[in-house]
Structure 1
Amino acid sequence: MKRVLLLFIGLVMMLSAKAQFPMAMGGGSKVTVTGKITAVVLDSITRKPVDYATVALIKVKDNKSVNGAITDDKGKAVLQNVAPDQYKLTLGFMGYKTKTVMVKTTPERPDLNAGTILLSPTSGNLKEVEITGQKAMIENKVDKLVYNAEADITNAGGDATDVMRKVPMLSVDINGNVQMRGSAVRVLINGKPSGTMANSVADALKMIPAEQIKSVEVITSPSAKYDAEGSGGIINIITKKKTAEGVSGSVNASAGTRSNNGAFNLNAKTGRLSVTTSLGLNQAYPQKSSVVVLNNAVINGVNNTTSQTGYSDWSRVGYNGSGGLDYDINAYNNISSSVKYNHFSNGGPGLYEVVTNGVVSHNSRDMDMSFNNLDWNVDYKKTSKKEGEEFTLSAQLSTGRNGSDFTNIFSNPNQPDLIIKGNNTGKNNEYTVQADYTYPFSKTTTLETGMKGIFRNIISDYGQGSGQNFDYDQNVGAAYGVLAFKITPKISAKAGLRAEYTKINAAGAGNDYFNLFPSVVVSKTIKGMTTIKASYNRRVQRPSLFYLNPFRNESDVFNPVQGNPNLAPELTDNMELGYSTYIKGSVINASVFYRRTQDVIESSINPIIEGGVNKNLTTYINVGTSQSYGFNVFASYNPKPKWTLMGNFGMNTYDVTNPADHIKTGTFLNYTAFARSAYALSGGWSTELWGVINSPRRTFQGRTDKMYFYGAAVKKEILNKKATIGLNVLNPFNRDLVINTVNTTATSNQSTNIHYPLRSFGINFSYNFGKLKFTQKKKINNDDIKQGEQQGQGGIGGQGK
């Protein structure tokens, strides 16, 4: 009944807004003559376009910023909805001197072509400067920070996990688990969820070749328009899906000592019809990791010890393909559809010497995991003559199947072999319908409202063929309203409220809950391009199949892993204060934040004895309440037009308490640091150096030591700049990444030492053809479930998914 009432209220909100403010003319609001200002920005030496230069429009009489734009690949900028007045055009880009041009529009001539504007490089030796017009690596926008991965030549040959390590404010462990400011995030692909992410975001990221990624958006303070999942925020990976008039595309290939990647994108447009398609491949060679695991426990007054020493030899292979159609019915109506398929598998053998209370045996293991997922989207969009008014209706089907199989063979002298097997098959079906409506009351006030329904069914056969199933249904109904408005000409605000009703049926037991998620952000422009921002929002993270699945994975018999169907969702309150500015070609972005999370979900190790053998069973529990304070600073500086220096440093506290279970971890500091230097040489050559350090990672029971990654790349443009060829290296001076983890309970401790071979060398090639023009389509975003983390490495402590 609650769900029906919620959906009805949301529908009334949308219809009421539409009735009061007609789509075509805006309900009789006062008509104001407006126009546009266009300009083309060129380098003063080479006369080549300067793309991604910032253009700010400032009113002369009060020196207030009223509009802005970014130049395209031809150096052109267009500022729309400009009221007649006298203005200053302020133009700037890293490595160039800021320039101001006076302009004026009138009611009789509201449109103005400012013509060609030349920017001068800041370098002292201008005669030797050859500007290439490369996209900025980092863009700081009002509601997000954007990392342009396609502009980073060191990404070639890697996967999405390698890309994520270089994104400001993110930290990634060796398994690919991503956090923002020490908390879990929601990861989207092209603005929408993928069923591939439903089990493990770490595994899903390994499926995506780095060459397919265009950019990564980091949204720290999502509004109520977004689904409320993701206590740390939202990460949106934009792939190289493009729409162009005619035929265009790209081919990328890389080969190396660690992995091989391939990516192909083809785009075609004729008239109103656009067609896109892509194919990605990823294959990693078997990585032989040495592993040492030691379990100690005192049970019933007796000390039990089990040690394992050996290796795992895991490999992985993945491929994905997609296709899409986009058709403009007329100037105001558009329909589009896309389908994407993903396949990924990893696993391999391992061999260990096991010593249990002085008794020696040998364990031969084999572990295989696979993922298959299909996402299909259909979207309809209607616009009107009123600038900014938009109605969209979307539907999405996501269906997937994943499997996990393991075999353990124990060999002892003069005894028959002991064989332990297990398998798990999971099926995930998800259906989503969504309607959104945006209405601008005026230039300064805009309403966004919408409704959404998500219907999930998960079945996991975890009985090793015995017919036992875990059947899980989760239905979510949501409605939201967001109002964006200006308090003063320099102060903008966006406030909203999202209502979500969740009904769960798990193995015959039902549960439902209703939540309200407010959000507010206030931004003030101090002067020019300097802004400060304050925000608050509430978020939720519902556990996914990864955390709920009661299947017991015994690929490591002494360290089994099992989900918990009784987990409660996490609820988080976030507050943030941010500052950003551009100073003489430099970019500075800083923020401080506070976060409080109830019912934090973490892994929990429990010592048990089965068959006289000491084991550590890992499951997932609601640990308690976490409070975290932190800050992040990002800066970019161009000492010369061809030289870019970039750095990011973030720190946050970790503290979990639960008086009922006597849990109090104390306060620990976590940090992540990133540095990059890129230099473009003459003749189409470019070079880069980079490094990342992640601090030790804490849980309520343990700690994983710090890790660091570093690399370099060189790239050369060939074939009239249509193609590039390059070399990449990762951790060249250290063959292995050493991962030490220690977990402690009141009666036991577990230590794991893994030497993972990370050093790699590779060669890459890319070729682009056609003239590309980007378009962005609104898609469904299911942002409401906590995604799984891949546990362990090379079969130790792995979770079947």
Structure 2
Amino acid sequence: MKKILLSLSILFVFMSAKAQFSTGMGAKKASVLGRITATVLDSITKGPIDYATISLISTKTNKSVNGAVTDSKGKLSIQNVAPDTYKMLIGFLGYQTKTVMITTTPEKPDISLGNVYIFSTAKKLEDVQVTGTKALIENKVDRMVYNAEADGTNAGGDATDVMRKVPMLSVDASGDVQLRGAAVRVLINGKPSGTMAASVSDALKMIPAEQIKSVEVITSPSAKYDAEGSGGIINIITKKSNAQGVSGSVNASAGTRQNNGAFNLTAKTGRLSVNTSLGANVAYAQNSKTEFVTNTTYLNGTTDNITQSGYSKWGRSGYNGSFGVDYDFNAYNNISSNVKASRFSNGGPGASDYVRNNIPATTITFMDMTRNNLDWNVDYKKTTKKEGEEFTISGQLSTGRTPTVFSNISTSPQFPNGKFLGSENTAKNNEYTGQTDYTYPFSKTTILEVGAKGIFRNVKSQYGNLQGDFDYNQDVAAGYGVIAFDLTKKIKFKGGVRAEYTSIDFNTQTSGIEKNNYFNLFPSLIVSESLAKGGTIKFSYNRRVQRPSENFLNPFRNESNQFNVMQGNPQLNPELSHNLELGYSTFIKGSVINASLFYRSTGGVIESAISTLVENDTTKVLSSYINVGRAQTYGLNLFASYNPKPKWTLMGNFSANTYEVTNTISNLSTGTFLNYSIFGRSAYGFGKGYNFELFGVATSARRTFQGKTDPFYFYGASFKKDLFKKKGSIGINTLNPFTKDLHIKTVNNSTSAVSTIFQSTNIYYPLRSFGINFSYSFGKLKFTDKSKIKNDDSKQGDQQPGNNMGGMGN
């Protein structure tokens, strides 16, 4: 009944918006958007000017509405230009800004300017050093944008390499991303992905860096976004083009750790475009060493000592593919659909030797984890002659299958012939989403946004043993309203509220509880002021939620490490947080400085925890997830970019935040600790297409309620040469060339009414690698993905609880 009512509500919003459109559009047929083309040349040498910046400014509002950058031949193409009168500004370092007046009409939407000459500002040509580059970093009201396409050192890498260069983000050695020390939601072109939900680190490795146009770090999401993500949202924007004909690209890399390949193809004719992509990733199996020391002291005075030392030889393989269709009925109506499928497989053999209370034994382990995901979306968008008015309705289906199989054979004096232990589990995740959004501009500076959304999720965990299956349903109904306007000429305001009702129920066979329904309001506001010389200061507040996802909830018991069992917790409650931020940014002679202070209060913090498990007269350590308590977090972020020379870029990012959690049951506090991460980068272009880069990442110790993980660091370098008139490139790269393994040490302590547990884990993860990469593009790529679905409301976990990464666990 709830699903029917929600569907009727969304349909009512759709019909109401449609009625409003029909009264204001008139009978005149809409015109198709046009394009502006030109070739920018030096006035003296007649040579092309590459990477010149073009801005298209409306003469009515005197605001920029579009833009472009010239290619290696000086050519520019600005797409989706509405009929109007514009002034086009052409700028390049060392040249006078050129202004060209342009008028397009519905009858003649396309304009070709031919050759446009710009003049040097120097008296003599030989005194001018011709250089130019698109800004790497842009600051907007609610986000910071890293323009990956303007960074030549990204070629041959993947999305993980790009993320390491994005301000405010921290990326560990395995590719997991955090924003300001908190969980973050990763979107692709503003929408979620089943692959990303299953494993962010694996999904990022499957996206070639050449496909990424920019990365948006949204620290202050408005109420239009789903309220998920305590730290904020990361939105990866892929490159798009409206180029006619057939175009595409190929990327390939090979190395000592992994091989990658990707192929993209787009065909466009008139108003119809079709695109497809294929990608593959194969990581070599390498020995990863893990050591455990577990000491458990019980109230009766007895102790249990376990020492384990083992290895795992895991490999990873995966592929993904997509197919999309996009069609413009006219200038005001568009429909698009896209299907994406992916498959990842992780696993391999392992072995461990352990001593329990002076009794030795050996265990042979095999583990396999597979993730299969399918996403299908259909989107309709309608605009009107009123600039800025837009209505969209979207639907999305996401399905996932995650089979997990493990087996152990243990040999000991008690079982000289070996004891077998094995199990399997298949988690099925189905998600259905309907969404509608409407934007209405009352004026150029006052804009209203409203919308409604429904998400229906079902997770089934099916076991291959006598343990009962788990069936979990989560339905979310949401509606929002956002208003933006100017308080003064320099001060802007954007505020709103989002209402979400969550209904949860699941079978009582495993969990013992039937349902947990809750309603929340999520307000948000941003106030920003433009300062002199390009500076901006802003203040923001928002309330966010972090719902536990499938990996956190699944009660499947993973006993691949027989003494360290991992299991999800279906009784978890969501995290709720209040976020305050004060930020400042400025541009000084090409340098970028961004500084921010923030405060976050989070209730129901979800963390991994260990406890005692007694089963069949055998004592084990159980790793699961719990709601620890309330956290108070203070932090700062400082990012700077500086160019000592036109082709030399230095970048640095420093993030720090406090950690303090108070348990809601015992009222005990961890005390206050400082977590920080440092990223440094130096990139230099030698000319003639040669580029060199060095980078390094260092983190402090990371605290949790029960323990800490020691600090670690890693570093890398890359060298790239442009080929085929910048249509291709070849490069080499290395990661940790002088350090074979990344040593990660974690210590946990747990005290309960039954026992006291001390556990020390040492992981030696093989990180050193060398590789070569090649990329080539023909034509201009088009990645059509206009979906408005953004299911950014589930806390993600890359693996089952524990993250042991050794032969005795994950």
Alignment TM-score, normalising by the size of structure 2: 0.88
Q: Find the counterpart in structure 1 of residue 312 from structure 2.
A: 312
Task: Answer yes or no: is the 8 Å Cα contact 1:606–1:618 preserved in 2.
Answer: yes
AA of the residue aligned to 1:721: K
- The alignment partner of 2:531 has SS state of strand
Task: Answer yes or no: is the 8 Å Cα contact 2:142–2:526 preserved in 1.
Answer: no
Q: Find the counterpart in structure 1 of residue 702 from structure 2.
A: 697
Q: Find the counterpart in structure 2 of residue 235 from structure 1.
A: 234
Q: Find the counterpart in structure 2 of residue 670 from structure 1.
A: 675
AA of the residue aligned to 2:718: A
AA of the residue aligned to 1:658: N
Superposed CA offset, 1:404-436 (max 9, x none): 111111112572201110111011111111111
- Does residue 582 (structure 1) correspond to residue 587 (structure 2)? The answer is yes
- Does residue 756 (structure 1) correspond to residue 755 (structure 2)? The answer is no
Alignment of 1:623-642 (within 5 A): 623-642=628-647
- Does residue 385 (structure 1) correspond to residue 385 (structure 2)? The answer is yes
Superposed CA offset, 1:538-593 (max 9, x none): 11111111111110111111111111111111111111112222211111222111
CA distance in 1: counterparts of 2:657 and 2:212, whole angstroms: 28
Q: Find the counterpart in structure 2 of residue 347 from structure 1.
A: 347
Alignment of 1:96-245 (within 5 A): 96=93, 118=118, 129=129, 131=131, 134-152=133-151, 154-155=153-154, 158-240=157-239, 242-245=241-244
CA distance in 2: counterparts of 1:665 and 1:42, whole angstroms: 64
Cα gap change, 1:708/1:645 in structure 2, threshold over 3 Å: closer, same or farther?
same
Cα gap change, 1:43/1:229 in structure 2, threshold over 3 Å: closer, same or farther?
farther
Task: Answer yes or no: is the 8 Å Cα contact 2:320–2:343 preserved in 1.
Answer: yes
CA distance in 2: counterparts of 1:50 and 1:702, whole angstroms: 54
Shift of 1:53: 3.8
CA distance in 1: counterparts of 2:483 and 2:700, whole angstroms: 39
CA distance in 1: counterparts of 2:574 and 2:645, whole angstroms: 50
CA distance in 2: counterparts of 1:764 and 1:507, whole angstroms: 50
CA distance in 1: counterparts of 2:533 and 2:23, whole angstroms: 35
Superposed CA offset, 1:96-125 (max 9, x none): 36977899999xxxx999x96858699x99
Task: Answer yes or no: is the 8 Å Cα contact 2:160–2:205 preserved in 1.
Answer: yes
- Does residue 604 (structure 1) correspond to residue 609 (structure 2)? The answer is yes
CA distance in 1: counterparts of 2:309 and 2:201, whole angstroms: 26
AA of the residue aligned to 1:355: V
Higher mean C-alpha deviation, range 165-174 or range 641-650: 165-174
Higher mean C-alpha deviation, range 667-676 or range 367-376: 667-676
Higher mean C-alpha deviation, range 712-721 or range 609-618: 609-618
CA distance in 2: counterparts of 1:646 and 1:760, whole angstroms: 24
Superposed CA offset, 1:14-55 (max 9, x none): 7667767877469xxxxxxxxx99999777897644647485
Higher mean C-alpha deviation, range 582-591 or range 48-57: 48-57
Cα gap change, 1:279/1:376 in structure 2, threshold over 3 Å: closer, same or farther?
same
Shift of 1:201: 2.7
Q: Find the counterpart in structure 2 of residue 440 from structure 1.
A: 441
- Does residue 646 (structure 1) correspond to residue 651 (structure 2)? The answer is yes
- Does residue 416 (structure 1) correspond to residue 414 (structure 2)? The answer is no
Alignment of 1:337-736 (within 5 A): 337-413=337-413, 415-462=416-463, 464-466=464-466, 468-508=468-508, 509-610=514-615, 613-736=618-741
Q: Find the counterpart in structure 1 of residue 260 from structure 2.
A: 261
CA distance in 2: counterparts of 1:270 and 1:458, whole angstroms: 42
CA distance in 2: counterparts of 1:82 and 1:380, whole angstroms: 22
2:805 aligned residue (787, 794, 800): 794
When the two structures are aligned, how many residues end up with a matched partner? Answer: 776
Task: Answer yes or no: is the 8 Å Cα contact 1:536–1:576 preserved in 2.
Answer: yes
Q: Find the counterpart in structure 1 of residue 302 from structure 2.
A: 302
Superposed CA offset, 1:200-243 (max 9, x none): 43343344444544432211111111111111101112345654
AA of the residue aligned to 1:771: K
Q: Find the counterpart in structure 1 of residue 511 from structure 2.
A: none
- The alignment partner of 1:721 has SS state of coil
CA distance in 1: counterparts of 2:133 and 2:804, whole angstroms: 38
Shift of 1:497: 1.2
Q: Find the counterpart in structure 1 of residue 106 from structure 2.
A: none
User: Structure 1: which 5+ residue stretches go unaligned?
Assistant: 27-35
AA of the residue aligned to 2:598: F
Q: Find the counterpart in structure 2 of residue 33 from structure 1.
A: none
Task: Answer yes or no: is the 8 Å Cα contact 1:156–1:254 preserved in 2.
Answer: no
Cα gap change, 1:37/1:350 in structure 2, threshold over 3 Å: closer, same or farther?
closer
Task: Answer yes or no: is the 8 Å Cα contact 1:704–1:739 preserved in 2.
Answer: yes
Shift of 1:140: 2.7
Task: Answer yes or no: is the 8 Å Cα contact 2:250–2:263 preserved in 1.
Answer: yes
Superposed CA offset, 1:708-754 (max 9, x none): 22111111122232211111111111111111111112312111111
AA of the residue aligned to 1:339: V
Shift of 1:173: 2.7
- The alignment partner of 1:488 has SS state of coil
AA of the residue aligned to 1:759: R
Shift of 1:390: 1.1
CA distance in 2: counterparts of 1:81 and 1:438, whole angstroms: 18
Cα gap change, 1:769/1:83 in structure 2, threshold over 3 Å: closer, same or farther?
closer
Cα gap change, 1:78/1:456 in structure 2, threshold over 3 Å: closer, same or farther?
closer
Alignment of 1:326-341 (within 5 A): 326-341=326-341
- The alignment partner of 1:198 has SS state of helix
Superposed CA offset, 1:436-478 (max 9, x none): 111111111111111111111110013x333721001111111
CA distance in 2: counterparts of 1:671 and 1:372, whole angstroms: 35
CA distance in 1: counterparts of 2:537 and 2:89, whole angstroms: 20
Alignment of 1:1-150 (within 5 A): 24=24, 48-49=48-49, 51=51, 53=53, 67=64, 70-73=67-70, 74=75, 96=93, 118=118, 129=129, 131=131, 134-150=133-149
CA distance in 1: counterparts of 2:155 and 2:803, whole angstroms: 26
Q: Work out the percentage of aligned pairs sharing the same amino acid.
A: 61
Task: Answer yes or no: is the 8 Å Cα contact 2:198–2:797 preserved in 1.
Answer: yes
CA distance in 2: counterparts of 1:767 and 1:621, whole angstroms: 48
CA distance in 1: counterparts of 2:372 and 2:475, whole angstroms: 23
CA distance in 1: counterparts of 2:663 and 2:736, whole angstroms: 40
Superposed CA offset, 1:154-182 (max 9, x none): 55555433432332111223333321001
Higher mean C-alpha deviation, range 70-79 or range 520-529: 70-79
- The alignment partner of 1:745 has SS state of strand
Cα gap change, 1:410/1:151 in structure 2, threshold over 3 Å: closer, same or farther?
farther
CA distance in 1: counterparts of 2:79 and 2:530, whole angstroms: 21
Cα gap change, 1:748/1:273 in structure 2, threshold over 3 Å: closer, same or farther?
same
- The alignment partner of 1:660 has SS state of coil
Alignment TM-score, normalising by the size of structure 1: 0.89
Q: Find the counterpart in structure 2 of residue 30 from structure 1.
A: none
AA of the residue aligned to 1:503: S
CA distance in 2: counterparts of 1:513 and 1:676, whole angstroms: 45
AA of the residue aligned to 1:557: Q
Superposed CA offset, 1:49-75 (max 9, x none): 46474859899xxxx995575443346
Task: Answer yes or no: is the 8 Å Cα contact 1:198–1:545 preserved in 2.
Answer: no
Q: Find the counterpart in structure 2 of residue 31 from structure 1.
A: none
CA distance in 1: counterparts of 2:570 and 2:319, whole angstroms: 31
Cα gap change, 1:770/1:91 in structure 2, threshold over 3 Å: closer, same or farther?
closer
- The alignment partner of 2:487 has SS state of strand
AA of the residue aligned to 2:425: N
Cα gap change, 1:485/1:42 in structure 2, threshold over 3 Å: closer, same or farther?
farther
CA distance in 2: counterparts of 1:522 and 1:201, whole angstroms: 32
